[in-house]
């Protein structure tokens, strides 16, 4: 088991970080994250199909032989049928094909995302127990609160002046105009008849000042409040993708994924970790919020 955990964690590092070298004895931060403040970190990238397969195929199926949970954790590929173009390709290939490994996982439920966070917490902590000279010993991964997500998306900027968390929404290079975010730009995309914005790899575009990619646009991101998502998505009008905007969901869909935050504290006990994870678990009695303006314009 020890050998497998090390191998699995190394595989996860390849998925979580872009650096070519990693020294197991020098873990300065949770893999693939950037620091927001104190002991709070957040993923640089949205969780990818490759990361999700590490959980479902690598762990649940190959290690635990838990076919029941494995089946429950499969993304719903039928969400792609609502796509206007090439939907059959996305239905059959998006989650399974290596072509889409670095694309954000979609078609999952809130409960599945929470389960992933719990699994990631357990695996990373197992690794840290055997790692020398790490700057921390215990971590807890979970979905970000709305406040934490907005802190990350603001990119150290004043949202009154820069509502997207970037200083500009369009990049001008000589005679070329490039969109900063993977959202629907009316003045650019409307000229492309019969075209539709589509999801892009998680490393698409430019990072914000924290070093976070695609926190605006690409796919919407779940937060800890069930039924609430932030950041807009690839075919939502740009004006609805501002940091303060939000939209609701009540089922898996093709434009919704997530990223994790990570709490780091050397003083965390096992009991403390369990308490924090328990807070993340969905309340069966909770009801989803009504749709927020702008969210269903392009469904």
pLDDT in tens, 106-152: 999 999 999 999 999 999 998 888 877 777 878 999 999 999 999 99
pLDDT digits (tens, 9 = 90+) for 49-99: 999 999 999 999 999 999 999 999 999 999 999 998 889 999 999 999 999
Supply 176's token pair.
């070329």
- CATH fold, domain 2-11+30-280, is 3.90.1580
Cβ-based neighbours of 162, under 8 Å, separated by 6 or more: 155
Q: What is the DSSP string of 97-134?
A: SGGGTTSBP-S--HHHHHHHHHHHHHHHHHHHHT-TT-
pLDDT digits (tens, 9 = 90+) for 180-214: 999 999 877 765 654 568 999 999 989 999 999 99
Q: Is residue 15 pLDDT above 50, yes or no?
A: no
Largest CA distance in the chain: 58
Q: Is residue 279 pLDDT above 80, yes or no?
A: no
Q: Is residue 272 pLDDT above 60, yes or no?
A: no
Q: C-alpha distances in angstroms, 293 versus 126, 241, 245?
A: 43, 12, 9
∠48-124-127 over CA atoms, to 5°? Answer: 130
**How many helices and strands in the chain, by DSSP H and E?**
8, 10
- Classify residue 3 by burial, with Cβ atoms within 10 Å: 0-12, 13-18, 19+: exposed
Residue 34 bridge partners (DSSP): 42
For the chain, domain boundaries: 2-11+30-280
The pLDDT, as a whole number, for residue 135 is: 77
């Amino acid at each position: 088991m020890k050998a497998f955990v090390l191998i699995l964690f190394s595989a996860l590092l390849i998925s979580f970080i872009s650096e070519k070298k990693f020294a197991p004895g020098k873990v300065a931060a949770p893999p693939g994250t950037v620091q927001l403040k104190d002991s709070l970190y957040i993923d640089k990238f949205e969780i990818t199909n490759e990361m999700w397969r590490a959980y479902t195929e690598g762990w649940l199926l190959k290690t635990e032989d838990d076919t029941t949970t494995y089946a429950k954790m499969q993304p719903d590929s039928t969400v792609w049928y609502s796509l206007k173009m090439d939907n059959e390709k996305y239905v059959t290939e998006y989650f399974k094909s290596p072509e889409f490994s670095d694309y954000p996982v979609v078609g999952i439920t809130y409960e599945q995302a929470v389960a992933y966070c719990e699994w990631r917490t357990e695996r990373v902590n197992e690794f840290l127990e055997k790692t020398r000279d790490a700057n921390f010993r215990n971590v807890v991964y979970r979905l970000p609160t709305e406040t934490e997500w907005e802190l990350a998306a603001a990119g150290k900027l004043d949202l009154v002046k820069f509502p997207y968390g970037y200083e500009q929404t369009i990049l001008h290079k000589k005679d070329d105009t490039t969109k900063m975010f993977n959202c629907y730009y009316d003045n650019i995309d409307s000229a492309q008849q019969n075209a539709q914005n589509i999801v892009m790899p998680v490393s698409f575009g430019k990072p914000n000042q924290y070093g976070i990619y695609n926190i605006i646009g690409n796919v919407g991101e779940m937060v800890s409040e069930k039924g609430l998502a932030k950041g807009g998505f690839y075919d939502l009008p740009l004006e609805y993708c501002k940091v303060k905007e939000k939209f609701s969901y009540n089922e898996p869909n093709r434009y919704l994924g997530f990223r994790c935050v990570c709490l780091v504290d050397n003083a965390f006990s096992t009991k403390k970790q369990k308490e924090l994870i328990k807070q993340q678990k969905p309340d069966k009695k909770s009801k989803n919020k009504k749709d927020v303006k702008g969210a269903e314009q392009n469904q």
